[in-house]
Amino acid sequence: MSKLRAQVTSAVANIPSLVIVLLCVLLLVFFVIIIALAVQVHSSGSSEPPRCLTATCLATAAGVLGSLDAHADPCVEPYALACDGAPSPLAGHRSRLDAQARLRHSVHHRLRHLVDLVPPNAPETSAASKVKRFYETCMEPRGLTNDAVAVFVHMARQAGGWDLIRTSAWSMQSWDRDTTLEKLIVGLGVTPFFRITVASPDVSVIRVEPAGFAFPSYEYYADGAPKHQKELLQAYRQLIEKVTDHLRDVPASRTNSAIADVIINYERRLLERLRPLGNLTEPYRKTNVAGLKGLVPIIKWDQLLTAFFQGQSITNETPVFLSQPHYFQGLSQIISTTDTTTLNHYIMWRMAMKYAPHLDKQVRSLYYRFMQTINGAPDVDVPEEEWWEQCARHTSHYLGHAVGKLYSDTLEGKELLVQQAREIAEQVRQSASDRINSVAWIHMKQPLKDKIKDVQFQLGYSRELTDKKLDDYYLNLIVKLGSHLDNVFEAEKFLTMKQAALLRGRRDSKLDEMWPISPQDTEAIYQYEKNTVVVPLAALQKPIFSLDQHKALQYGSFGSLVGSLMFKTMDRTGMDMGSQPVFSDNATRNDYQAKLRCLAESYPSLSKEKDLRINGQLTAGEALADVAGLVAAYQAFKERANGMERLPGLDWSPEQLFFIGYAQSMCESIREERVVNWNATSTSAPNRLRVLQTLQQVPEFAAAFQCSAESEMRRNREPCYAW
């Protein structure tokens, strides 16, 4: 008994030690479990980034989902995946709707509101007051219809008259072709035969390019033209017949049908000299005024250029940038062998076409029906825009800087918006330059790298533009209440004067030099002569760019846009611009042409139901820029994508989201008829084909979505290895 008591006493005495050992074991097991869980969490976190659950991310995800077709396979039809979730059916009067068109419509709504906010008692000479008067006169039915034809006839009389309008004081004996050309080109912005602009303010170069045709190619006028082009020409004939019948006030020397024949045949004769864009051996020529006079001696260039560039010294040595020199080589012979009445009908018809959208309701309806026909929405005599929106567009066109000031002044957060957009543009530029080192077919890489390095970015709006500077800029523009057409005539004269001021870089032209487009414009552009990408403020909106977008979407949409524009430095027009060509060796030029041929032949069909193909020869340059731009944007994005959060409700990785953002910025509804009608001359493919062509040529897309070699995006599609 005493022995048992001793054992119990010993066990009780050792309980604290046992508890401690047991606790240590439990703690060790717990610690191991914690470490294991931590490792597991860390491991899963590295393969799948965390999701962003902020209100901004939720809104962004909802925006992406709104267009996504979740049933589409990205390896079969990535454009459908990005865009077909919420298709935009075209109304009967619309032929095309894309991101820029939606932005433009939104901007026009905003402008209408901004015009209403301009005080009625604002100083009459202020730019804002002129904006208000121009828009309100356009909107006033009496200002639009009252004596519109009478105002047109008055201006036609000042230009020398028209054979079919007695009150225009036409006389075959007294009519002077050169005087009429001067009055129309300088005073009214009409462009028969050619257009005069300033190519590069930095070096004072005059640009002269072909103009003065309803259609941009001889193919539309040829006897053997396809059926759809013959129908377009017939629609043009009907427009001429009906407008001339409406304008004429006495029986002319020819019937309306005969006048239509004269004008169409003359345009056909001019266009025979115009080389197809895909077969241009000499797209432009650098010459001077003396060379221009030698090439087209029938035009009194000294008289015309002196009037156009009033107050400036135009000499034989003044540089001239001549587009399509082959056209101008035959122009003198065509004009010199044309009778006076035919010349009069052709030249004055160009004036009628220029101002048809601003004449009375009958002429406008005829004009709209014609434009809708060539855009693929036949038998519709209403415009694609309502009249208030047309007035907003006209006001924005003629008073661009003033409207832009109203727009930019009321936009909050614009400084940060432009700053972040510029950061992405610079990052894409650096990636573009780095990538050139890996492009095997470019044998001499430095010229292209230098030109990419020299690209300038004009983003947003002018920060230096004050109300005083703006009032001074528009000092000579006369805007009155009463007649919309009178205001348009005055505005055309004003725009010509401002264009002429660019030649010598006068102080009052600096605004136009810096900002060739206005803040309220929605399309970014590339200026070849200045090697500059210009992105207006209104283009920095969803789906192109916004501050609250996911970074993958910003780089996919805005980054790819900037990249594509930047690589216009190496298309057919840009490759020889500047101090040295970007492809100076024959080997690279030959390989460049081979890449273009490959891209031209690799577009998918325009229609899923019919085997319709676009003219890839004309669009291949755009395709190469798209591929190079998207690759540069993707590389810039990847350098900053580490640890990037996913969007809620979306299973896409940031890399996949990049390509979805690219495609969604290109979503477009377009009538097949519109594409077919312009296929002969368009240098831009429909957006669906642009997206498919680009993604097929970018292996990073297939890698991001793990597309197999047997997938539609890779099967039977030999890559061009363009970039």
Share of the chain above pLDDT 70, in %: 87
Do 644 and 580 belong to one domain?
yes
Chain centroid offset of residue 478 CA = 30
Do 377 and 417 belong to one domain?
no
The predicted structure's pLDDT at residue 399: 97
Do 159 and 40 belong to one domain?
no
Structure tokens at 388: 């208030």
Band of the pLDDT at 131, cuts 50, 70, 90?
A: very high
The predicted structure's pLDDT at residue 80: 93
Do 8 and 91 belong to one domain?
no
The predicted structure's pLDDT at residue 43: 34
Do 379 and 252 belong to one domain?
yes
Do 167 and 272 belong to one domain?
yes
Residue 202 predicted with pLDDT over 60? yes
Share of the chain above pLDDT 90, in %: 61
Q: Is 57 helix (H, G, I), strand (E, B) or coil?
A: helix
The predicted structure's pLDDT at residue 3: 46
Structure tokens at 205: 């170069």
Structural contact between residues 674 and 612, judged by C-beta atoms closer than 8 angstroms:
no
315 assigned to some structural domain: yes
Q: What is the pLDDT of residues 310-346, one digit of tens each?
A: 988 899 999 999 999 999 999 999 999 999 999 999 9
DSSP states of 538-594 as a string? GGSSTTT--TTS-HHHHIIIIIHHHHHHHGGGGSTTTTT-SSS-S--SHHHHHHHHH
Do 593 and 626 belong to one domain?
yes
Do 408 and 363 belong to one domain?
no
Q: What is the pLDDT of residues 352-380, one digit of tens each?
A: 999 999 999 899 999 999 998 888 876 66
Q: What is the pLDDT of residues 570-605, one digit of tens each?
A: 998 888 887 788 998 999 999 999 999 999 998 888
Q: Cα separations (Å) of 666 from 84, 280, 502, 652, 692?
A: 12, 29, 34, 19, 11
117 assigned to some structural domain: no
Q: What is the CATH number of the domain that holds 601?
A: 3.40.390.10
The predicted structure's pLDDT at residue 144: 63
pTM of the entire predicted model: 0.87
Q: Which of 12-26, 36-50, 630-644 is modeled with the greatest confidence? A: 630-644
Structural contact between residues 92 and 380, judged by C-beta atoms closer than 8 angstroms:
yes
Top pLDDT among 534 and 17 is at 534
Structural contact between residues 163 and 252, judged by C-beta atoms closer than 8 angstroms:
yes
Residue 35 predicted with pLDDT over 50? no
In this structure, of 28-32, 45-49, 285-289, the range with the lowest mean pLDDT score is 28-32
Number of independent structural domains in the chain: 3
Q: What is the pLDDT of residues 387-397, one digit of tens each?
A: 899 999 999 99
The predicted structure's pLDDT at residue 37: 32
The predicted structure's pLDDT at residue 18: 45
Residue 447 predicted with pLDDT over 80? yes
601 assigned to some structural domain: yes
Residue 628 predicted with pLDDT over 90? yes
Residue 36 predicted with pLDDT over 50? no
The predicted structure's pLDDT at residue 91: 65
Do 259 and 291 belong to one domain?
yes
Task: State the Cα–Cα distance between residues 485 and 369, nearest whole angstrom.
Answer: 21
107 assigned to some structural domain: no
Instruction: Name the DSSP class of 533.
Output: E
Q: What is the pLDDT of residues 264-320, one digit of tens each?
A: 999 999 999 988 766 667 788 889 999 999 999 999 999 999 999 998 889 999 999
Q: What is the pLDDT of residues 223-238, one digit of tens each?
A: 888 888 899 999 999 9
Mean of the pLDDT values across residues 156-167?
A: 92
Task: State the Cα–Cα distance between residues 681 and 278, nearest whole angstrom.
Answer: 9
Residue 39 predicted with pLDDT over 70? no
Top pLDDT among 636 and 501 is at 636
Residue 479 predicted with pLDDT over 50? yes
What integer best gives the mean pLDDT of the chain? 87
Residue 32 predicted with pLDDT over 60? no
Residue 88 predicted with pLDDT over 70? no
Task: State the Cα–Cα distance between residues 262 and 240, nearest whole angstrom.
Answer: 10
255 assigned to some structural domain: yes
Band of the pLDDT at 254, cuts 50, 70, 90?
A: confident
The predicted structure's pLDDT at residue 249: 86
Domain that holds residue 564: 55-96+402-473+506-704
The predicted structure's pLDDT at residue 610: 66
Do 245 and 385 belong to one domain?
yes
484 assigned to some structural domain: no
603 assigned to some structural domain: yes
Q: What is the CATH number of the domain that holds 172?
A: 1.10.1380.10
Do 380 and 465 belong to one domain?
no
For 359, counting Cβ atoms within 10 Å of its Cβ (0-12 exposed, 13-18 middle, 19+ buried), the class is buried
Do 420 and 552 belong to one domain?
yes
- Per-residue burial over 605-638, b = 16 or more CB atoms within 10 Å of its CB, e = otherwise: ebeeeeeeebbbbbbbbbbbbbbbbbbbbbbbbe
